[in-house]
Amino acid sequence: MPRRLLSFACLVVVLVGCARSGPVATTVGTAAGGTAAGTPDASATRPATASASPEASATPTPSAPARVDCTKLKCVALTFDDGPGPQTPTLLATLVDKKVPATFFLVGRMIKQHPATARRIAQTPGMTVANHTMIHPMLTRIAAARAAAEITDNTKLIQKTTGVKPRYFRPPYGLHNNRTDAVAKKLGQAVVLWSAGALDWQYDTPAKIVEVTLPQITPGAIVLAHDIHPWTIKAVPSLIAKLRAKGYTLVSLDDILRNPRAGNTYSRGLH
């Protein structure tokens, strides 16, 4: 097949794969796509709201969640990508109220718009800040040096803004390769994909998001959602209640992965 045609065919595969499905089991070092490729997961294009007020509002401080053994319990970890956004503080308050830990894969461009929110996430017990690049590009489709800078620069920005050194990296659209994995390894970050997608770039009602997410969840699941969407934030209380009703314990990535190795890829956790 001519090269251009081949590229196009690959893109189609990636897009269709993403739009439909669930998670792609990605092996370390491959460029296999994750779920969300080609979707409007582009945090970065969202306009900034200049108002600083919602970010500055106080969020109650939760008690630190107890460490749990995910080889014995049915664990699930929630992750939120592409923020911080204007409504992230609302989500944070919900998570604190429900005593649910979560990981936020932050985009540098959004951190610059909402630095106080990034700090607040990092300072809230149970919450983890993680790396989702500066401007959310397809890392496997840009020059290696640029891809490396995307990962490294956001690591520095997260550290500078929150005081926390991120230990998890999620490549936008799940697109990664040996080179991006090597950068993550050097920075001490595990490459974290997901096993269940909220598909909140496709559906825009809380009920639908809960409906499509729940059947994808099995013990050890890592759930991908986006805190830039108001419908996602509205779906979270119901999602939490329904997961708990099914006997799931909501845990942090630290608990579900338990000592992950930098540079290795994880789509799900212990079960």
Q: What is the CA radius of gyration of the chain?
A: 17
Question: Active-site residue among 81, 82, 200, 254?
Answer: 81
How near is the Cβ of 201 to Ni ion at its closest, in Å?
A: 9
How near is the Cβ of 43 to Ni ion at its closest, in Å?
A: 6
Binding positions for Ni ion, 19-58, rule CB under 5 A: 41
The two structure tokens encoding residue 142: 């840009």
Q: Does 227 bind Ni ion (CB under 5 A)?
A: no
In the chain, the DSSP E strands lie at 74-81, 102-106, 127-131, 168-169, 190-192, 196-197, 221-226, 248-251, 265-266
The region, left, alpha or beta by phi > 0 then psi within -120 to 50, assigned to residue 28 is beta
Distances (CA, A) of 56 to 93, 103, 108, 118: 13, 20, 19, 11
Question: DSSP string of 179-207?
Answer: HHHHHHHHTT-EEE--SEE--TTT--SHH
Nearer to Ni ion, 85 or 172 (CB): 172
Binding positions for Ni ion, 169-188, rule CB under 5 A: 172
Residue nearest Ni ion, Cβ-based? 81
Nearer to Ni ion, 76 or 106 (CB): 106
Q: How far is 54 from 223, CA to CA, in rounded Å? A: 26
181 catalytic per annotation: no
Q: Does 81 bind Ni ion (CB under 5 A)?
A: yes
Question: Active-site residue among 114, 132, 176, 226?
Answer: 226
Dihedrals phi, psi of 246, to nearest 5 degrees: -90, 5
Nearer to Ni ion, 23 or 219 (CB): 23
How near is the Cβ of 119 to Ni ion at its closest, in Å?
A: 21
Task: Report whether 187 contacts 155 (CB < 8 A).
Answer: yes
Q: Does 89 bind Ni ion (CB under 5 A)?
A: no
How near is the Cβ of 254 to Ni ion at its closest, in Å?
A: 21
How near is the Cβ of 3 to Ni ion at its closest, in Å?
A: 28
Beta partners for residue 267, in sequence order: none
136 catalytic per annotation: no
Nearer to Ni ion, 81 or 200 (CB): 81
Q: How far is 168 from 191, CA to CA, in rounded Å? A: 6
Question: Judged by CB under 5 A, which of 82, 150, 254, 255 binds Ni ion?
Answer: 82
Nearer to Ni ion, 46 or 242 (CB): 46
Residue numbers at the binding site for Ni ion (CB under 5 A)? 41, 81-82, 172
Which residues are marked as active site? 81, 226
